Amino acid sequence: DAKTTQPTSMDCAEGRAANLPCNHSTISGNEYVYWYRQIHSQGPQYIIHGLKNNETNEMASLIITEDRKSSTLILPHATLRDTAVYYCIVSRIKAAGNKLTFGGGTRVLVKP
Amino acid sequence: EPEVTQTPSHQVTQMGQEVILRCVPISNHLYFYWYRQILGQKVEFLVSFYNNEISEKSEIFDDQFSVERPDGSNFTLKIRSTKLEDSAMYFCASSLTGLAYEQYFGPGTRLTVT
């Protein structure tokens, strides 16, 4: 699975959009981009995924560049409860089950 | 909303003892996983399980570890002879299919080996 690079940490103001970048320059054609988050040592929580098109759900939007070498997760209106470590993961879908390889993630602190 | 549950929330054991960590995946899910996270470190994949067989395992998952689905609802991780370095948070996860994009994680069991 391709390696990802994320900033170690970032702050965000409550109510503002949080834009979390991820670099995955070695991504291959059949690999998806996933985002998960982990709030204070709880179990990781799925946020969103994409292959090459931009995606949006009730939690976030995912923007993937045309060359697929990087992506940005957007939390449109950050709240204090969005304070968490956010993980960008690149992985192939396999019928045998989808092993997730977590990196260090980005520690996001939402401030009032 | 259905959720993955894990018991106990915290387990303290002495080095060399066997422990069994229990998970109840979401009822219609077919794929099950164990991950662990040593304090302050990354979440690490241990094993995936489908159709009563291990489908993939990591280097961490050595002969001291085993998994089982003893009945239609539970999924267990056994560590035969615990070591100090097994102290970690252990997360169970499940997904509807192997191709499912979303894994649902439980709240974790904190294992402390003394």
Cα(B27)–Cα(B33) distance, rounded to whole angstroms? 14
A25 touching B (Cβ < 8 Å) = no
Confidence band for B72, pLDDT divided at 50, 70 and 90: confident
Average pLDDT of B92-109?
A: 88
By CA distance, what is A85's nearest residue in B? Answer: B42
Q: What is the DSSP letter of A105?
A: -
CA dihedral A71, A75, A78, A80 (to 10 degrees): -80
A98 touching B (Cβ < 8 Å) = yes
Contact pairs from chain A to chain B, CB under 8 Å: 73
For the stretch A42-54, pLDDT in tens is 999 999 999 998 9
For the stretch B9-27, pLDDT in tens is 999 999 999 999 999 999 9
pLDDT of residue B105: 97
Confidence band for B108, pLDDT divided at 50, 70 and 90: very high
Cβ B95–A98 below 8 Å, yes or no?
yes
By CA distance, what is A39's nearest residue in B? Answer: B107
pLDDT of residue A35: 97
Max alpha carbon distance in chain A (Å)? Answer: 44
In the three-class reduction of DSSP (H, G, I as helix; E, B as strand; rest coil), residue B84 is classed as helix
Cα(B80)–Cα(A75) distance, rounded to whole angstroms? 43
Q: For residue B72, give every residue at least 6 positions away whose Cβ sits within 8 Å of its Cβ, in sequence order, or none.
A: none
Among B56, B101, B104, the residue with its CB nearest the CB of A96 is B56
What is the residue-averaged pLDDT of chain B?
94
Average pLDDT of A25-47?
A: 93
Q: Which residue has the higher pLDDT, A94 or A35?
A: A35
